[in-house]
Amino acid sequence: MQHWWLPESGSGVRTRISDDRVWLAHAVAHYVDVSGDRTILDVSIPFVDGRPLAADEQDAFFIPRISETSASLFEHCVRGLESSLAQFGEHGLPLIGTGDWNDGMNRVGEAGRGESVWLGWFLHATLTAFAPLATARGSGELAARWLTRAGALRAALADAGWDGEWYRRGYFDDGTPLGSASNAECSIDAIAQSWSVLSRAADPMRAARAMDALEAQLIRRDDGLALLFAPPFDHSPVDPGYIKGYPPGIREYGGQYTHAATWSVLAFAQMGDGDRAAKLFALLNPVNRSRTRSGANRYRVEPYVVAADVYSVAPHVGRGGWTWYTGSAGWLYRAGVEGLLGLRRQGDLLSIQPCIPRSWPGFRATLRHGASHYDIVVENPDDVCGGVSRVVVDGVRLAAGEAAVRLVDDGRRHSVVVTLGAAQAVLL
């Protein structure tokens, strides 16, 4: 498996980074959920061949060969998950290897013993999302084993992951906690908190406390920043990896890494806190950084694309970093459309479960489905964040508790009116 590659030649790097093996199954499960298309799981895809890493190698750059051996997309996903489940540490958490999502933390687990709390949440979310696909394909025993492992992982995260007021980021090879209140640097990391919510694996009370800690310690509203972690590794001899080669406050090194911050928006929305979700979304929206001349002079990059990072340390506080090179844009779009507006497609159904600020009177949206258009009006007469009271489609009210509209491609314009508030019974 390659961590990244160049499309023109296929050349890329093989590493010991741990999360690469999970992302395929995560993305495929989401695609199937949204599209309703399970035939994609049967598509045959060849493997790539390349020499394995030597015992003393952490990575290698080369051009792989296209193998003559192929397998279904489902089998590729299964192999990735099975490989991940074979590499756990003494706390019952996945090994971080030479990095996980934050590949700059390449020396946290380079000896093969360091563990990742974030990867635990992410793996749990993926196992529970992909298991139903295995069951539907007659692989019930495989799905049952995955769900058993997910349960054990959930227990380990509750034990070794919890730090008292928030979740740790992981453990170094020598067992020292990372992302703990006991750490002078990187005492709290955002993605270990947001994914405790997104994975649905954490105790809800703990997850709420973790997100409170994230807001208090990582969101700097006066500077318009949502930090990845704090404080940066700067003065101590602790060496998490090449991340320390950046100046403090730049990129993953204690600055705002927008990709991670979008997950915080989604987490607040999933908790039903539309006020905090919308405030954070507005903070991340690049348009808002250039509304004034002083803001534009500070930001210094394009206001119409999402910057991968925003600097957090003087004299560059608020300066944008890399633009046009980031997955943050897609995640910010999802945070707005799915998290705040609550519009989620599931096959031929459109689920509408908004989570908006109490101050919003509502909103309007238009969804195009083939040749059809759905004109959606959401009304918020009771000044709430969410909770659907009633849904009226083309003048017909749906049954109480039903907030999903069946999409039809008939070339017509359809009206959908959603009222937020306490659900009310429908008299028939």
The answer on pLDDT for 427 being more than 70 is: no
Which class is domain 344-420? mainly beta
Query: Residue 90 and residue 201: Cα distance in Å, rounded?
Result: 20
Average pLDDT of span 353-359: 97
Torsional sign, CA 398, 401, 403, 409 = negative
Tell which wins on pLDDT, 400 or 38: 38
Average pLDDT of span 125-134: 98
139-169 as b/e, with b when 16 or more CB fall inside 10 Å? beebbebbeebbeebbebbeebbbbeebbbb
Strand order in the sheet with 12-15: 4-5, 12-15, 59-62
3-state secondary structure of 304: coil
Q: How far is CA 332 from CA 143, 254, 263, in A?
A: 31, 20, 8
Using H for helix, E for strand and C for coil, what is the string for 247-276?
A: CCCECCECCEEHHHHHHHHHHHHHCCCHHH
DSSP 8-state symbol, 1: -
| pLDDT for 249 | 79
Average pLDDT of span 54-82: 94
Q: 1-202 — its CATH code? A: 1.50.10.10
| pLDDT for 423 | 57
Query: Residue 254 and residue 232: Cα distance in Å, rounded?
Result: 5
Average pLDDT of span 89-113: 96
| Sequence ranges of the domains in the chain | 1-202, 221-340, 344-420
**Mean pLDDT (the chain, rounded):** 94
Split at pLDDT 50, 70, 90, the class of 426 is very low
Residues 182-241: pLDDT tens digits? 999 999 999 999 999 999 999 999 999 999 999 999 999 999 999 999 998 888 888 999
| pLDDT for 362 | 97
Residues 269-301: pLDDT tens digits? 999 999 999 999 999 999 999 999 999 999 999
Average pLDDT of span 345-364: 97
- Could you tell me the maximum CA-CA distance found in the chain, to the nearest angstrom? 72
Query: Residue 372 and residue 394: Cα distance in Å, rounded?
Result: 13
Q: What percent of the chain has pLDDT over 70?
A: 99
Phi and psi, residue 277, nearest 5°: -60, -45
